[in-house]
Amino acid sequence: MAKVKIEAAALEGYKGKEVAVSDWLTVTQQMIDQFADATHDHQWIHVDVDRATKESPFGAPIAHGFLTLSLLSHFLGQSIEIAGSRMGVNYGLNRVRFTDPVRVNSRLRAHFVLHDVESITGGVQMVWKVTVECEGSDKPVLIAEWLGRRYHS
């Protein structure tokens, strides 16, 4: 999917609109294991394939909710370019819900709606309403209101 390029000065015109949909990304067991190692969260529902398959209500290992959340930066970076800015930072989250489990080998993609944009010293602050969907499911796996800042070149 082609990256959407937006001039920072034109962001106001995108308020309330879906700006981009990311490409699909497969969440593998290797990704889950690496995230478990990085965060020291080795709960068996994530990393013990045999036990998760036999004992969990999901029938397979599932990704950490925070792994799914951390993928927002990847999805945004591959989907949207804010031209005329030299860097971006995460500013926080107003609301996050993990609405369905992400089973191993699921394919995810994110939808980005620009909810709000305002000028800040040296740049802009954006509020994105992000929905992450799982291929083949009617229910999203994550819904978030995510704040980001972009600073001018």
Going along the chain from its start, the domains and CATH numbers come out as: 4-152 (3.10.129.10)
pLDDT at 43: 98
Q: How many helices (H) and strands (E) does the chain have?
A: 4, 8
The mean per-residue pLDDT over the stretch 52-78 comes to: 97
Query: How much of the chain exceeds pLDDT 70, in percent?
Result: 100
The pTM assigned to this predicted structure is 0.94
CA distance 103 to 42: 16
Residue 2 clears pLDDT 90, i.e. is over it: no
The backbone torsions φ and ψ at residue 18, rounded to the nearest 5 degrees and listed phi first, read -75, 120
pLDDT at 5: 95
